[in-house]
Structure 1
Amino acid sequence: MAQRISGAYRLITIPSIYKGLMFSLGADNAITRYVDEALQPKAGMKILDVGCGPANVLAYLPAVDYTGIDLNEKHIDYARRRYGDRGRFMVGNAADDLKQEEKTFDLINVSALLHHLDDDQAVSLFTSLKRLLKADGRIVTFDNVWLPGQRAAVRLINKLDSGINIRTPEGYLGLLSGLGFDIQTRVFHDLLRIPYDHFIMIARNS
């Protein structure tokens, strides 16, 4: 993982602090709109949430077959305590630990993860995730982004982010190049209470 984890950055690995920070910034609105406008889950879908953290998105989903996977054991423990049998929560790496579930997922959520991965790690992840998708499945990603003429406040916040691989839209799209996806993109400028820009990719099996 390409990210800052020392000093004050270590605090965001603590579920209660991470969740409190995100919701103070307006995460409720952000997740609601992301789910409604990008993820668009349907009841009964089999959904994989990669880098799920404390599984905040699960509270916004209909009745689905949910699997959340994350390397942070504290986040997974928190999700298990909060959601119980509403989902399956795993400590691990989706690229290595779900190979037995090839072509079974309708929807894969990759939210706020790519800017923590270098290019090789991200391409390897997408290659693995494509094998887990059903023929008509989708991968949806959500990350902060560098944009031309970006507001100074957004650029400053990006520079302070714990993830060190924030990309331009072209940089994110390049991670999916050659993998056989049809890709739609969208940029949000108003999901949080602070100035911030988010880039979304919706990748469908073609």
Structure 2
Amino acid sequence: MAQRITGLYQSIRIPSIYKGLMFALGADNAIRRYVNEVLKPTPGIKMLDVGCGPANILAYLPSLNYTGIDLNEKHIAFARELYGSRGRFVVGNAANDLRQDENSFDLINISALLHHLADDEAISLFTSLKRLLKQDGRIVTIDNVWLPRQRTAVKLINKLDSGLNIRTPGGYLELLNGQGFDVQTRVFHDLLRIPYDHIVMIARHGSKQRSD
């Protein structure tokens, strides 16, 4: 993974600090809007949350069949303690450790992960996730993004991010080239309390790419 993990960045790997920081920035409203306006999960579906962290999103989801996977053992332990009765929590890599779930997920969520991955890692991840997705399912991603004429404050925050692979919209779409997905994109400028730009991609089995 391409990310900063020393000094102050290391503290973000502690679940309580990560959760506190996110909600100080307004993540509660951001997650609620992301769930309601983008994910739109219906009760009972089977959902995979890739890089789930402490599973903050679960508080905003209806009753469904949830699997969260993350490489951070402390985050998974925190999620199990808080939400153990609401889902399955796996320490591991979605590209390798969920082979038994082929063609079974209605919705796969990837929140704030792609900008921590090198191109080859992200492409490999999408290749693996495509096998886990039902034919009528969706893969949804959200990450910070570089944009033309971007606000100065957003540029500064992007430069301070622990992830080293923030991309332009075209750069994120390149990760899905040749994967056989129909991809829609959407940009948000107001999900957090601070100046911040997010790009959402919604990928379905197909072959087209378009922007909304």
2:55 match = 55
1:101 match = 101
Give the match's secondary structure for 2:137.
strand
Matched positions, count:
206
2:184 match = 184
Give the match's secondary structure for 1:164.
coil
Deviation by residue 1:112-150 (Cα, 9 ceiling, x = unmatched): 000000000000000000000000010000000000000
1:195 match = 195
> Larger helix proportion, structure 1 or 2?
1
1:205 is displaced (CA, Å) by: 1.2
1:145 match = 145
1:133 match = 133
1:110 match = 110
- Alignment of structure 1 residues 16-31 onto 2, 5 Å: 16-31=16-31
Q: How far apart are the structure 1 equivalents of 2:158 and 2:126?
A: 24
Q: Percent identity?
A: 77
Q: How far apart are the structure 2 equivalents of 1:39 and 1:84?
A: 22
Q: How far apart are the structure 1 equivalents of 2:134 and 2:35?
A: 20
Give the match's secondary structure for 1:97.
coil
Which stretches of structure 1, 4 residues or more, deviate above 3 A after TM superposition?
A: none
Q: How far apart are the structure 1 equivalents of 2:177 and 2:39?
A: 21
Unaligned residue ranges in structure 1 (runs of 5+): none
1:100 is displaced (CA, Å) by: 1.2
Q: How far apart are the structure 1 equivalents of 2:101 and 2:82?
A: 25
Q: Does 1:45 align with 2:54?
A: no
Q: How far apart are the structure 2 equivalents of 1:170 and 1:180?
A: 17
Unaligned residue ranges in structure 2 (runs of 5+): 207-212
Q: How far apart are the structure 2 equivalents of 1:180 and 1:38?
A: 21
Q: How far apart are the structure 2 equivalents of 1:189 and 1:195?
A: 7
1:45 is displaced (CA, Å) by: 0.4
Give the match's secondary structure for 1:187.
strand
1:85 is displaced (CA, Å) by: 1.4
TM-score, structure 2 normalization = 0.97
- Alignment of structure 1 residues 157-176 onto 2, 5 Å: 157-176=157-176
Give the match's secondary structure for 1:123.
helix
Q: How far apart are the structure 2 equivalents of 1:28 and 1:36?
A: 12
1:91 is displaced (CA, Å) by: 0.3
2:2 match = 2
2:32 match = 32
Deviation by residue 1:61-84 (Cα, 9 ceiling, x = unmatched): 000000000000000000000001
2:72 match = 72
1:89 match = 89
1:156 match = 156
Q: How far apart are the structure 2 equivalents of 1:136 and 1:161?
A: 34
Supply the RMSD in Å over aligned alpha carbons.
0.5
